[in-house]
Structure formats: C-alpha cells, structure tokens
Structure 1
Amino acid sequence: MARIILLIAVGIFAWLAWQKFQSSAPRERRKLLLQWMLIGLALAAVLLAISGRLHWVGAAVAVALPVLGKSLRWLTRHLPWLAPLIARRAQAKTEQQSGSDSTDKPPPLSVDEARQLLGVSAGAGREEIVEAHRRLIQKLHPDRGGNDYLASRINAAKELLLRDL
C-alpha cells in the first residue's frame, strides 16, 4: 500500500513538474532541470536510506572522493598555465565590446523618418504618437524577440515627434 501511495505521489509530482517545465521560458528550463535533478537525488538518497539500501551510494562516494581530490590537485597545478589564456580571452572580449559600441551609433532621425517609422500622419497628436509607439515597442522590444537597434529607433522617433509638438 505504501508503494502505491509513493508511486501516485511521484506521478503527481512528475505531472506538475512537466506542466511547470512547459510553461517556463527557455532560459529558465535549464535551471529547473538542475533543481529537479538535485531534488530527485536527495529523495532517492532518503528512500535508499529508509529501505536500508544506501550501502552502494556510500561505496560510490568513497571511490569518488580520491578521484575528485586528484583532479583538483591536477587542476590547481595546471591552472597557472590556463590563467593567462583566460585573461587574454576576457580582455579581447571587453575590447571587442567597447570598440563595437563606439562605431555602431545609428544616424539621427529626421521628422519624416520618425513619422514613417511609427506609421503616423503629419498632423498626428500626442495620443496617436504614444499609441503607435506602444503598439510597435510591444512587438519589437528586445525582451519579446526584437532587438536593441529597432527599439532604440522607435524610442528616438517618439521622442523626436513629441518634442516637436
């Protein structure tokens, strides 16, 4: 009877976990999988300890500790050789990012380009400009699959048109 209750509980937990996994964003899925694996390992260890079958886990830990110790000693011994490579790579990455920021400035918008970008007429009022901006930014915002360039152009168009009112 206890096994059936345990099996039902595991089934419900698996179903809830699957629903959460499907509804989560792709960025969060890896984190969820890691958390669930750790929870599953902890539950398995508890169940093995309760049932008296934890002896093989103890043996695996006893074998893994010396191997882990030797691996860490090997890494610390060879880390000085890796440190300059890692530092050079990080420096090149920061130089590339700082260099690309200064050369990628978009050209300034004219009033006609701003109107065309937002899709408003020449006699558009404040409310129409704000609504057109809101509609476009919801579609093209970087958090929703757009990119920084388009979002910055849309924001610049709104600011330019509202400034000229």
Structure 2
Amino acid sequence: MMGLALLLAAGIGWWGWKTGRLRAPRAGDVAALVAVLVAVRLFSRGEAVTAVAAIGGACWWAWFRTRNMLRAPADRGMTPERARALLDVPRGASASEIRAAHRRIIQRVHPDAGGSTQLAVEINAARDRLLATHVKR
C-alpha cells in the first residue's frame, strides 16, 4: 500500500514538474507535500480521521495556489473602464470587436515590433478582462 502511494506521489510530482506547476515551489507547497506523505502514513496505520484532515489541508493549499497562479498579475488591478480605454472600445462592445481592437493595437505595441513588453502585457490583460466580463453577462 505504501509503495503504491509513493509511486502515485512520484507520478504527480513528475507531472507537476513537466507542466511547470512545480518550477517555483513555495514553503506551503513543501508543507502540503509533507502533509500528504504524513496522511498516507496515517492511513496505513488506520488513523483515517487524522489522515483526512491532513489531506484536506493539502488539498486546500493546492486549490489556493492554483487559484492564485491562474490570475495574470496585470489583470488583478485592471478595471473594465481602464480596459475599455486601453483598447478604445465602447461600453457594449461585442467579443469580436474586442478581439479586433486587441489585434489592431497589439500589432503596434508588441515587443517584436519594437514596442514595450509592459504595454503588451497590459493590452493582453485588458482583452482578457473585457472578454471575461463579456462572457459573464
């Protein structure tokens, strides 16, 4: 049982490394891994309640970490008004209008065309913000 759990943990670790999710581990990531290993050991001893608590803590950390990783840093402070101003689209713009405005502007400000990396990141965040709001409506 313990060998199978360790093999499973090694497989998950390999997957995390290959997908890039474990390239910059934090102290909480290491603590979650230790919690999972302790939970496996507790399960093997028959202490299921304590093991479930340890697994729950590790799962909470994984959810919390993934949720924060999915947000683009520039998107966190991007308001819809600022996004519309950057892309120069009206308030009720459709998804195709937003994408067309993004394509038009990104051609000029892309780093490969001599533009600023930071501005390209902001333009992409503006597009993502408006399309996310557009989908929610």
What's the TM-score bracket when you normalise by the shorter of the two chains? 0.3 to 0.5
Structure with larger Rg: 1
Relative to the length of structure 1, the TM-score reads 0.36
Structure 1 or 2: more helix by fraction: 1
